[in-house]
Amino acid sequence: MTQEELNNLTVNKSVDARGTACPGPLLEAKKSIGTIASGEIMEVLSADEGTKRDIPKWANKKGNEYLGTVEESGYFKIYLKKG
Amino acid sequence: MENIEKQIKELQEKVSLLEKVTKDQLSIVVFSGELDKLLAALIIATGATAMDMKVKLFFTFWASAALRDKKKKVTGKDFMSKMFGIMLPKGSSKVKLSKMNMGGMGTSMMKNLMKKKNVASLEEMLTTAGELGVEINVCEMSMDLMGIKKEELIDYPHLNICGVATFLVDAEESKIQLFI
């Protein structure tokens, strides 16, 4: 997905994990993905550069779709679609 | 033809046996009693729960002391146990870095840095691990050697005292086994 498409997504659940370091964002993501339905979109906000690589790997293992990442100043917005 | 069918059946049996043996499970021998190594073990352990893995930590030797509760007092220890008790760190908040401890200065600097960078403390990590269902098995022999009593261990929801056989069975069933 392009950056513009990602920014225009309707997000069903937003998780702000900017206050935690590894493995915080992953644990937050795991907790929150359970609260949305299959096909819905989740956004994870993280200030941790490692999360950018971690979340796609995690999503892949869990059967969720990684849509892309948008870089903001000082943090990342990572988009997922629940499988 | 019959021969092939027989071979397929045999293979199927073998595969189903393999599936039974390995679970989506992680086993870690937590041996070291230093802050950095304990943190590594707990980050991997809690991270694995996010992958829906079952996690079993086998605490032995120096790591056992990190499970002591600083608020709990026990009586009736013999001389050697008392001496060990004084020399070993009293719980997860008292463990030191394996490098650059510098008489405790390095450790406290690291703790401040961790706070600043939003890295969870070892105590917080243990609480999180408990909430996520990480199992902690403590080696009975290590506790006995170091004079650590069951009554002085932290209140952890999934804590058992066990021996090497427990670890071996858990490790055999696990996809990943680590020694830290």
Superfamily of domain A3-81 in CATH is: TusA-like domain (3.30.110.40)
Extract the tokens encoding B163: 């021996």
* Beta carbon pairs, A and B, within 8 Å: 32
pLDDT score for B106: 95
pLDDT, one tens digit per residue, over A48-82 is 888 988 999 999 988 999 999 999 999 999 999 99
Cβ neighbours of residue A26 under 8 Å, at least 6 residues apart? Answer: A51, A54, A55, A58, B47, B50
Residue A23 to residue B47, Cβ atoms within 8 A: yes
% of chain B exceeding 70 in pLDDT = 99
Q: Which of A14, A22, A30, A50 is catalytic?
A: A22
Q: Report how many helices (DSSP H) and strands (DSSP E) chain B contains, helices first.
A: 7, 5
Nearest Cα of chain A lies from the Cα of B114 at a distance, in angstroms, of 9
CA distances from B148 to A56, B143, B155 (A): 43, 5, 15
pLDDT, one tens digit per residue, over A3-56 is 899 999 999 999 999 989 989 999 999 999 999 999 999 999 999 888 988 999
Instruction: Check CB contact of B178 with chain A, cutoff 8 Å.
Output: no
pLDDT, one tens digit per residue, over B33-92 is 999 999 999 999 999 999 999 999 999 999 999 999 999 988 888 998 889 988 999 999
The single-letter DSSP state of residue B49 is H
Instruction: Check CB contact of B20 with chain A, cutoff 8 Å.
Output: no
Find the mean pLDDT for residues B144-155. 93
Cβ neighbours of residue A51 under 8 Å, at least 6 residues apart? Answer: A17, A22, A25, A26, A44, A76, A78
Residue B71 identity: K
Nearest Cα of chain A lies from the Cα of B62 at a distance, in angstroms, of 25
pLDDT score for B17: 75
CB-nearest to A24 from B51, B120, B132 is: B120
pLDDT score for B20: 67
Environment class of B165 (CB within 10 Å of its CB; exposed 0-12, middle 13-18, buried 19+): exposed
Find the mean pLDDT for residues B97-118. 94
pLDDT, one tens digit per residue, over B22-32 is 889 999 999 99
Which candidate in B39, B44, B51 is best for mutational testing of the A interface (most A CBs within 10 A)?
A: B51
pLDDT score for B21: 74
pLDDT score for A68: 95
Residue A20 to residue B120, Cβ atoms within 8 A: yes
Whole-number average pLDDT of chain B: 93
Residue A27 to residue B50, Cβ atoms within 8 A: yes
pLDDT score for A10: 92
Find the mean pLDDT for residues B106-118. 94
A62 catalytic residue (yes or no) = no
Checking if the pLDDT of B124 tops 90, the result is: yes
Burial state string for B26-44 with b = 16 or more CB within 10 A and e = fewer than 16: bbbbbbbbbbbbbbbbbbb
Place of tokens 């056989």: B165
Which candidate in A61, A64, A75 is best for mutational testing of the B interface (most B CBs within 10 A)?
A: A61
Contacts of A62 in chain B (CB under 8 A): 51-52
Cβ neighbours of residue B10 under 8 Å, at least 6 residues apart? Answer: none
C-beta separation of B54 from B24 below 8 A: yes
Find the mean pLDDT for residues B3-11. 90
Which candidate in A16, A18, A20, A22 is best for mutational testing of the B interface (most B CBs within 10 A)?
A: A22
Does domain B22-179 correspond to CATH entry 3.40.50.10490?
Answer: no
C-alpha B168, offset from chain centre: 14
pLDDT score for B76: 85
